[in-house]
Amino acid sequence: MPDRQMESVFDALDRFQIEIPSWGFANTGTRFGKFLQAAAATNLAEKMSDAGMVHSLTGACPTIALHVEWDFPRGEADVPEAEHLAAEHGIAPGSINPNLFQDQIYKLGSFGNPRAEVRQAALAHVYESIRIAQRLGSRDISLWFADGSNYPGTANIRQRKRWFEECLHACHERLSANQRMLVEYKPFEPAFYHTDIADWGMALLLARAAGERAKVLVDTGHHYAAQNVEQIVAWLLDENMLGGFHFNDRRYADDDLTLGSIDPYQVFRIFHEIQMFEWERGNVTGIAYMIDQSHNLKGKMEAMIQTVMTAQELMAKAALVDRAALAVHQTQGDLVRAEQCLKDAFSTDVRPAIRAWRAAHGLAEDPMEAFRQSGYLERATRERAEKNAAQATSYA
């Protein structure tokens, strides 16, 4: 690889950080049940340990996304422990995620619930989540809502929109000056007739109604089949409204598969749009790159390491696009040469350059193999197997 390309790869990897989710290390499942893993993390200490291990191997994951309901069962009282554990494992708390879908009171929604007392309870939970984030020094509050309805005529769609505007604005008023609120969207599931925030346009309008520190969060699995996600990314960039990502992959809908396992070229195209935007504007966007995946069958640690390695590889490939040449080809309407700029970069084997980058930073050249040789998985299995077996549930 020429020196110029090697420099581009090193620069992209030096700047690239991707946040890993605490829940990605715990036992998860579908609505049909769970397949438990003996080495799955059973508490925040084990999640932090796993996250620290992934970061030590990849050098790209200095923060961990935390879920208030699952990681802070006592609310703000658990903040000191979270701070201690993060410091112990060489990582920092990242985005804070309220839970607005699991409590029994949310049967008819949270911010869109027709009962005022439920909306107030949801607000109180987000307010506490914001306080937790402030105490931890976390910038982003990540909001996803399951709100919607399953049958025509059962909900006042316009009224629910107004309730969302009111509640999101109220949350925005509680943010510190350095905090952001990320509004996520999803077309369906668990609401199958209408979802209150069903697409990026709805999320954009609600974020703007909330306030200037509200942005849109794009989950790559939250789209209909064949959706042009990179076009959405490009529009949000141009509107200065792209706050971050939840990266995963999907074949049909929100499958939460490991990044790039189905369509790595799409992720490459997304990274290209971001890098092209930054090249044109001469500035860095401050986008929060986060992983949101459900590792139900793959080993959780290996799936996370595999995902981070794939993200690094695709980011490095996008850095190889000859953007100056591409801009000329686009202006001249030279379709073949323009497309070839992307295809040439995507076809380049960047793995030797990434191994060189890792070696230069004192990292394992092959993080997956280093993990397998470390004995970490075997130790975690011994320490956690009994606790995970106790979680086994019979589904009749």
The structural domain count of the chain equals 1
User: The domain that contains 292 carries what CATH number?
Assistant: 3.20.20.150
pLDDT at 396: 36
Q: Among 18-22, 100-104, 336-340, 392-396, where is mean pLDDT lowest?
A: 392-396
Q: Which helix (DSSP H) or strand (DSSP E) does residue 3 occupy?
A: helix 3-15
Detail the DSSP E strand segments found in the chain. Answer: 20-21, 29-30, 33-34, 63-67, 92-97, 140-143, 148-149, 180-184, 194-195, 214-219, 242-247, 288-291
Q: 3-state class of 229 per DSSP? A: helix
pLDDT at 393: 56
Cis peptide upstream of residue 152 (ω within 30 degrees of 0)? no
> What mean pLDDT is predicted for residues 344-349?
98
* pLDDT tens-digit series, residues 196-228: 999 999 999 999 999 999 999 999 999 999 999
Average pLDDT, rounded, for the chain: 96
Residue 57 lies in a domain: yes
DSSP assignment of 275-333 equals: HHHHHHHTS----EEEE----SSS-HHHHHHHHHHHHHHHHHHHHTS-HHHHHHHHHHT
Residue 103 lies in a domain: yes
What is the pTM assigned to this prediction?
0.96
Residue 6 lies in a domain: no
Beta pairing class for 180-184 and 214-219: parallel
**CA-derived radius of gyration, the chain:** 21
Q: Residues 114, 122: contact at Cβ < 8 Å?
A: no
Closest CA to 272 of 339, 317, 237, 318: 318
* pLDDT tens-digit series, residues 27-49: 988 778 888 999 999 999 999 99
pLDDT at 394: 43
Residue 144 lies in a domain: yes
pLDDT at 29: 82
Residue 223 lies in a domain: yes
Sign for the CA dihedral angle at 14, 87, 38, 42 comes to: negative
Q: 3-state class of 46 per DSSP? A: helix
Residue 350 lies in a domain: no
The percent of residues above 70 in pLDDT, for the chain, comes to: 99
Place of tokens 């141009």: 238
Residue 230 structure tokens: 């990179």
Closest CA to 16 of 256, 281, 274, 258: 274
Using CA atoms, how far apart are residues 143 and 96, in angstroms rounded to an integer? 9
Residue 201 lies in a domain: yes
With cut-offs at 50, 70 and 90, classify the pLDDT of residue 395. very low
* pLDDT tens-digit series, residues 133-191: 999 999 999 999 999 999 999 999 999 999 999 999 999 999 999 999 999 999 999 99
User: In this predicted model, which residue has the larger pLDDT, 285 or 278?
Assistant: 278
Q: Which domain holds residue 90?
A: 17-314
Residue 370 lies in a domain: no
